[in-house]
Amino acid sequence: MSGIVGLCSIRSRSSSSTIIRSTSGPTETRISGPCTSISCGDPTATPEARRTPKMRKNMRSMTCFVIFLLIFVMNYGLCLARPDPYHSASDVELQTVAPKFMTRGHLYKAIIGDSIELPCKVKDLGSYVLLWRRGTSVLTAANLMVTRDARFKLIEGYNLQIANVKIQDAGDYICQIGDNESRDQVHTLEILVPPTIRVVPQNRQITARKGSTVTMECKASGNPVPAIYWHKKDSFAGSSHLSESTTMVLERVDRHHAGIYQCTADNGVREAVHADIEVTVLSPPDITVEKTWVHASEGFDIDLMCTVHGDVNSEMLWYQNSFLLDPTDRRSMYSKGDKYTLNIRNFQQSDFGNYSCVADNALGRTKKYIEVSGRPGPANFLSPAYSNYLDRYNLTYTIESIPPLDEIKLLYRKLMMNETYQHPGSWEDTILVPTLTRSDPTHFIMSHVIKGLSPNSVYEVMIQARNMHGWNEISDIHQFYTRNYELALNELEFVMSSISNNNGAAGRTATLSSWLVGILAITAVLLAR
């Protein structure tokens, strides 16, 4: 090494150049390398010294090249022999057991705002490094948090916790072992979002004219996509289900469409949400009456009632036989809400007639009629539809009449199987003397047995009554059924069976009673024939 130093100047591991000067000539060589720099030459040589024969010059150049090559090889060996500060001896030892995931990839669901933990457990990790990444972004490396998002945290080893999850957190999260053999473990995170509603119109109020079309829209968002339900709130019938579409269309609206419609959105994430839309229908007044016919008599008090429907204020007037009525000492008008009442006290003969209630508003005029009469009211049947007998039927009914009834007309017929609307069966009529039995001060209750009927048959009956003011309107048809033989015989067999099953001292008394019942039943059947 001293011979080399005599020829050149050497600086090992220096950022500056190393100059090697040859003692035998003016040649100077400057060489830089990763571990040393070498320069060969004579900077002090004169121009005359440089002008030497060609052979001498080539020999000197060859000498410098050999010196450079020797020094380069020596320094390269020193570089290989020097310890690496970034690796320990244990790192270069081969790991004989491959790492293995103890958990599996899974689909996780979390509600927005909640926290979620994604597991990653590895067996025999050794010197390998675990990474959490999402796409190309590295979240963690070993125990180092790479992401700047403070919501991400490593807990219980290498499980990844995400606090206060957001919609943009949805996607795949990859736990990766830093080797070339193990497969990555992928967890998929889905963010569940509770439903929200936006309705059209935004002010949640719709006003429409009668006969027009009303459109309501309910836009819901969330994850999963919410289901939508429409209901109409009704204080009498409760909520009625109408539709499951985002759009609710009401065609040819009238007063029955007015009210509050509720849109409900539900996707199973927390509570369902609701939005109400109020629909107002502008129309001429719509009038309903409790009774189109009212029974009255002198000296009594009566009330006539009309109900006016509509969302536009209406003026209500009362008429008798086309004459406008004003309040008097016996007559008064009052209202409560949408109900209007005409009260007549100490009813007189002149008060009979046709009354009408007339309602006016900006959109039109409506009229309804009520007849006030002293004639009897229509019969109201109380008897059950099925007779207890083979050949008769006990008909019970009531008739409204303050004056006594003078006459009752009963009409009945057997309904034939081949009967048609054009050729109905003939009616049999009977004139009855009414009883004076009252169920209350304004109603009579009467009964009549219709005899001579056919067993197992269908009959129809109608009633008409007369008092001092005349005949009433004939009643609606009441249909009834006579008994059949088979049913009567079945009941007789049941009685006889009960007789045969009785025994013992206590049974003898019951047997005697059963025999008597059986005899009476047989007699009834024979008489019916």
DSSP 408-453: EEEEEEE--TT--SSSPPPPEEEEEPPP--EEETTEEEEEEEE-SP
């967890």: which residue's tokens?
Answer: 187
pLDDT at 481: 95
Profile the chain (529 residues) by mean pLDDT over runs of 10 residues: 38 39 42 40 45 57 46 38 41 66 94 96 89 93 93 93 96 90 90 95 94 95 95 70 88 92 95 95 92 94 93 88 94 94 96 96 93 96 94 95 95 81 78 86 93 93 96 95 74 58 51 52 51
pLDDT value of position 434 = 86
Sequence spans of domains, the chain: 2-81, 100-193, 201-282, 286-373, 380-483, 486-528
C-alpha distances (whole Å) from 137 to each of 120, 134, 157, 238, 315 are 18, 5, 21, 55, 75
Q: Is the dihedral of CA 476, 481, 482, 488 positive or negative?
A: negative
Residue 46: predicted pLDDT: 46
Calpha distance 252→258 (Å, rounded): 12
CATH topology of domain 201-282: Immunoglobulin-like (2.60.40)
Model pLDDT, residue 14: 38
Tokens of 471: 């005949």
The answer for residues whose C-beta is within 8 angstroms of residue 401's C-beta and 6 or more apart is 295, 375, 376, 377, 442, 443, 444, 465, 467
CATH (residue range 286-373): 2.60.40.10
Q: Could you tell me which CATH class the domain 100-193 is placed in?
A: mainly beta
- Distance CA(113)–CA(118), nearest Å, equals 16
pLDDT score recorded for residue 266: 96
For 305-373, give the DSSP string.
EEEEE-SS--EEEEEETTEE----SSEEEEEETTEEEEEE-S--GGG-EEEEEEEEETTEEEEEEEEEE
Architecture of the structural domain at 380-483: Sandwich (2.60)
Distance of CA 267 to the CA centre of its chain: 8
Q: What is the pLDDT of residue 224?
A: 95
Domains 201-282 and 286-373 in one fold: yes
Side-chain half-sphere CA neighbours of 360 within 13 A: 3
Q: Which of 378, 369, 325 is nearest to 350 (CA)?
A: 325
Q: Which of 307, 455, 468, 472 is nearest to 388 (CA)?
A: 455
